Amino acid sequence: MAKKKKPDKHVEQPKIRIAAPKNRPLQLRYFCPKENREIRISVGSRDMEDAERLKKEIEAKFLLGIEVRSDKKIVLGPEMEWDQFREQYTTQHLAALRDKTAEDAESRLDIATRIVKPKTLGAMADPSNLQKLQSRLLAGDESMRGKPRSSHTVRGYMKSIVSALNWAYYQDWLTHAPKTPRIKVSKRKAMKGRPITEAEFKAMLAVTAAVVGDDASESWKRLLHGLWESALRIEELMNVSWDHEGAIVPQWTDGEFPILRIPAAMQKNDTDEDIPLLPGFEKLLLETPAAQRTGWIFEPASLQIQYGGKPPYPRLDSGWVGKVISKIGKKAKIEVAPEDKKTGLPAKFASAHDLRRSCGQRLRNAGVPPLVICRIMRHSSWETTRRHYAPGDIQREAEILRKTLG
């Protein structure tokens, strides 16, 4: 890996920089005049401290005249270096997944790496290390708030780690499938938020201008109405267009009910799908004059215009838009989940996803058949819809029982 040679004081040492490739571990990069190319060395994680430490080690080797080679042979199997496995897993598997899924997996692997500090793939897959990882995650190690994590959160973290190790097993790099430590979780409600009421939605509309500014408020209120009426996720609503290729497009055909055509690229299940266009959403769309039906349908204005500045980007990112909607929910003081003093999680306020939940709940309250709600929410089962989006109103159900049973 490293070959000593007599240092040449007249040769300028390469300047090493830290690079952060999208959805991949950090890299150290420098130009090698001998090979006349850029050398890239994976840090094996996205921890800046790890990158700085490795950078200093390589700079020290240069000063000592030790040749640093980046083309070391990769050993496939349990003895494979952990950072090499991370690089292979990222480029061969995570790169094919959706950005958010890949980012979450990388983040959890980073945390596991800092806790276990494995040298090899086999070391991370060792049952005792997996048990240690689970225990320390529950205790709150590497937690932003420094407090214990809930069993539900830790189960999600462990699922990501074991998924990576299972991938290694199916590549024949591990001789045994990883043994997952058991973790007991309570049967709490599945929703991280809740459907909001019509009065709460009006409260969000009332404070919108205070958050985004008067000039931008109408475009943001239109966006909120779109979430309220469509049952779409924020990234989906931002991709509804009159005519863009590959976007979600509303369609009207003579003699048929209108539909919403959703391409596979916009779906979690990677499947082309058509769903009924909800009447309230159709009414909102038809407010746009026919002559103006071109381009993106929802275009929330930049918050920069309230300060007289120019928008930094031609179109706002859906992730950033979601954060602004959460600020609107907080400004309206609509709490959808209380503070968890045990884990340190603060109270959660109404978000874009809670507006999607609200649409699902209203459909259930209106008596829409469960399978139709499933189709609109695009879930594989009614149980998913019921647990996460339309739990029902216990008082309304009690009222129906009283009327039915006399």
Q: Per-residue confidence of the chain (406 residues) as pLDDT tens digits?
A: 444 444 444 456 788 999 887 666 788 888 877 767 777 787 767 788 888 888 888 888 887 777 665 555 667 889 999 988 988 888 888 877 777 788 889 999 999 999 999 999 999 999 999 999 999 999 889 887 778 888 888 999 999 999 999 999 999 999 999 887 777 665 555 567 889 999 999 999 999 999 999 999 999 999 999 999 999 999 999 999 999 988 999 999 999 999 999 998 877 767 888 999 999 999 999 999 999 999 999 999 988 766 666 666 678 889 899 999 999 999 999 999 888 777 677 889 999 999 999 999 899 888 888 888 888 888 777 676 666 555 555 666 667 667 777 6
Is residue 380 a part of any domain in this protein?
yes
Count Cα atoms within 13 angstroms, Cβ side, for 206: 10
Same domain, 86 and 64: no
CB 183 within 8 A of CB 199: no
405 burial class (0-12, 13-18, 19+ CB within 10 angstroms)?
exposed
Same domain, 100 and 210: no
Instruction: For residue 125, give every residue at least 6 positions away whose Cβ sits within 8 Å of its Cβ, in sequence order, or none.
Output: 78, 165, 168, 174, 176, 178
The three state secondary structure string of the chain is CEEECCCCCCCCCCCCEEECCCCCCCEEEEEECCCCEEEEEECCCCCHHHHHHHHHHHHHHHHCCEEECCCCCCCCCCCCEHHHHHHHHHHHCHHHCCHHHHHHHHHHHHHHHHHHCCCEHHHHHCHHHHHHHHHHHHHCCCCCCCCCCCHHHHHHHHHHHHHHHHHHHHCCCCCCCCCCCCCCCCCCCCCCCCCCCHHHHHHHHHHHHHHHCHHHHHHHHHHHHHHHHHCCCHHHHCCEECCCCCCEEEECCCCCCCEEEECHHHCCCCCCEEEECCHHHHHHHCCCCHHHCCCECCCCCCHHHHHCCCCCCCCCCHHHHHHHHHHHHHHCCCEEECCECCCCECCEECCHHHHHHHHHHHHHHCCCCHHHHHHHHCCCCHHHHHHHCCCCCHHHHHHHHHHHHC
What is the domain count for the chain? 3
Same domain, 353 and 298: yes
Q: What is the pLDDT of residue 330?
A: 96
Same domain, 134 and 241: no
Same domain, 136 and 15: no
CB 364 within 8 A of CB 373: yes
Which CATH number fits the domain that encloses residue 382? 1.10.443.10
Same domain, 312 and 386: yes
Is residue 181 a part of any domain in this protein?
no
Is residue 189 a part of any domain in this protein?
no
Q: What is the pLDDT of residue 7?
A: 47
Same domain, 293 and 318: yes
Q: What is the pLDDT of residue 27?
A: 83
Is residue 215 a part of any domain in this protein?
yes
Same domain, 266 and 388: yes
Is residue 290 a part of any domain in this protein?
yes
Is residue 75 a part of any domain in this protein?
no
Same domain, 33 and 142: no
Range(s) of the domain holding residue 141:
82-170
Q: What is the pLDDT of residue 1?
A: 44
Same domain, 16 and 86: no
Same domain, 310 and 358: yes
Q: What is the pLDDT of residue 5?
A: 47
Q: What is the pLDDT of residue 2?
A: 46
d(CA 41, CA 39): 7
Place of tokens 């300028």: 12
